[in-house]
Amino acid sequence: MSKLSYLQLNNNELVGGIPAELGKLGGLFELNLANNNLEGPIPQNISFCTALNQFNVHGNRLSGPIPSGFRNLGSLTYLNLSSNNFKGKIPVQLGRIINLDTLDLSSNDFSGPVPALIGDLEHLLTLDMSFNKLSGRIPEELGQLQNIVSLILNNNNLHGEIPTQLINCFSLVEMNVSFNNLSGDIPAIKNFTRFPPESFLGNPLLCRNWLGSSCGPYAQESKAIFSRAAIVCITMGCLTLLSMALVVIYRSSQQRDFIKESNKMVQGPPKLVILHTDMALHTYEDIMRITEDLSEKYIIGYGASSTVYKCVLKNSKSIAIKRLYNQYPHNLREFETELETIGSIKHRNLVTLHGYSLSPHGNLLFYDYMENGSLWGLLHGPSKKVKLDWDTRLKIAVGAAQGLAYLHHDCNPRVIHRDVKSSNILLDENFDAHLSDFGIAKCISSAKTHSSTFVMGTIGYIDPEYARTSRLNEKSDVYSFGIVLLELLTGKKAVDNESNLHQLILSKADDNTVMEVVDPEVSVTCMDMGLVRKTFQLALLCTKRNPSERPTMHEVARVLVSLLPPPPSKSLSYKETLTEEEVEKKINE
């Protein structure tokens, strides 16, 4: 049991407490106890599971505080304590679990302030603290969460203004602060203009003119008699502004030398580096003019580390512009060298990097534009306009495998992708697969001063061995590709709430019922379900726990190609008719 990696006991009507003995499982990677009837506190011993990557106790009756030892779980990326009876203050130590990308504390009885240290969780994608008894102000430090996608703080007792620093959360697509005691103005710029009115309801002192309604009581009170309290507030505000000005001046003087040493952009027009002729004769100013300074109306997608825009060049060719949120690499020269290496790599199943620019908008990367978006969007997106039949899915798998095999075996220098997932497989107008973002994870990690603690990859696709060794190699990419194959076969997400796709398939494989989870669109369009079964077997080989037991990407590509239907036979015209001698020669070959 000491070598146990996955313990999934969710939805089993378990009762009693969480056994403290679980703390002896030093190699435990995932602990899922969601949707049971467990009671009592979380044992402090859980903090001894230092390899733990995912901890989920959603939907129980657990109580007490969050163990202080959780700060030792440095590998934790997913923490879900929602829908329980936990009480007390949220420990500031949660802000030290630096690799967290999901933190869900909703529907409990937590009280006190939202810890400002949460703003240090730079990889955080989802923060949900709704339906608690939290008080105080929304920390302005949350504006440091440049990767945050979902910020949910509704149904608490928070007061004060919405911090304007939140406009720096460029990837924020979902925000809910309704039913608190917030006041002041809702920021009417950047990403805030796309949030619906429902995100701000239940805050009677919140001014929301830009949403088409009056400022209500707040506006009327602002016109009241100039009271002594108002004078005090204005005086304090002036002192605060003066203090901020002094801090800005002090910091500016400290940063001058750093700016010079880090090779930041020189004054004047930003640098535009063109790597391929498709962007020839274009300047940075051209790109900004065409996209109206990267206006929101050109946005075609968001990611954890970037926003993507569509741009039609002067030669009518469409490109995709990826704006990275991490604006200034620690070592600019190394960053540029990595990008130029990536730009030199060309293959029919890889998305070409055409150029890059270092600008005030962030680092801009210019890629091929793909008409059919990402595989993730087609499989799991809200519209699902296109149904993928079996032949198309197999074609996509072959293309992605061949692109990855080229990076691993035929490219010079060889490249480890580091973040293989369905959202990084893009599809052109013919549904040919093109692997994107290869090498970018390395660029981003090397741009950080603490790259040794930077977790590469995406939850659900990460090689379990990486959590143990903190090392990535080609076999880590193979594992991630195996998860993509499972997505293609089932139409299910790699991780969806409490469900882990890989663990689901393993459990089905054990009792030979894996075919029950095949996507119906595959079942009705595949003429030979034996091919589907073989693809399942290949996916399970790719996701073997021991990396040495996984195939290479060359081997994966060969197997997938062998499953393709034979090309239609070509009838011979009279000019192509073979002589008897030629037929005999063909037979003997």
Say whether 395 counts as a known binding-site residue: no
Q: DSSP assignment of 108-148, as one string?
A: SEEEEPPPGGGGG-TT--EEE--SSEEEEPPPGGGGG-TT-
In which band, very low, low, confident or very high, does the pLDDT at 267 lie, cut at 50, 70 and 90?
A: very low
Section 474-483 average pLDDT: 95
The tokens of 386 are what?
A: 């296109």
Domains 6-207 and 374-563 share a fold: no
Catalytic hit among 101, 128, 368, 419: 419
Q: Which residue has the higher pLDDT, 209 or 193?
A: 193
Residue 221 has pLDDT above 50, yes or no: no
Instruction: Identify the band that residue 387 occupies on the pLDDT scale cut at 50, 70 and 90.
Output: confident
246-264 pLDDT, tens digit per residue, is 544 444 444 444 334 334 4
Q: Give 197-212 as a DSSP string.
A: GGGTTT-TEEE-GGGT
Alpha-carbon gap, residue 357 to 274, rounded angstroms: 9
The average pLDDT across 307-311 equals 91
DSSP assigned state of 356: E
Q: How crowded is residue 332: how many other Cβ atoms within 10 Å of its Cβ?
A: 17
Produce one character per residue of 548-584: b if its CB has 16 or more CB atoms within 10 Å, e if not.
Answer: eebbebbbbbebbeebeeeeeeeeeeeeeeeeeeeee
Residue with tokens 């203009």: 193
CATH superfamily of 6-207: Ribonuclease Inhibitor (3.80.10.10)
More confident residue, 546 or 384: 546
Lowest mean pLDDT among 367-381, 383-397, 445-459: 445-459
pLDDT in tens, 165-192: 888 887 777 889 999 999 988 876 656 6
- Closest alpha carbon to 278 in 308, 337, 336, 319: 319
Q: 404-454, pLDDT tens digit by residue?
A: 999 999 988 888 998 899 999 999 999 999 999 887 755 544 444 333 344
Angle at 558 between CA 427 and CA 401, to 5 degrees: 30
Token digits for 350?
């890889």
pLDDT in tens, 74-89: 889 889 999 999 999 9
| Residue 419 designated active-site | yes
In the chain, what are the helix, strand and coil shares in percent, each to the nearest 5?
40, 20, 45
Q: How confident is the model at residue 479 (pLDDT cuts 50, 70, 90)?
A: very high
Task: State which fold the 374-563 domain adopts.
Answer: Transferase(Phosphotransferase); domain 1 (1.10.510)
Between 290-299, 335-344, 566-575, the lowest mean confidence (pLDDT) is in: 566-575
Q: Mean pLDDT across the stretch 301-329? A: 81
3-state secondary structure of 422: helix
Which of residues 235 and 280 earns the better pLDDT score? Answer: 280
pTM of the model: 0.61
Q: How far is CA 137 from CA 170, 184, 233, in A?
A: 21, 12, 17
pLDDT at 6 over 60: yes
Distances (CA, A) of 503 to 48, 387, 461, 494: 23, 26, 12, 10
**pLDDT, tens only, 20-44:** 999 888 888 889 999 999 999 999 9
Domain ranges of the chain: 6-207, 271-368, 374-563
Q: What is the pLDDT of residue 27?
A: 84
Q: What would be the CATH architecture of the domain defined by 271-368?
A: 2-Layer Sandwich (3.30)
pLDDT in tens, 531-564: 999 999 999 999 998 898 999 999 999 999 999 9
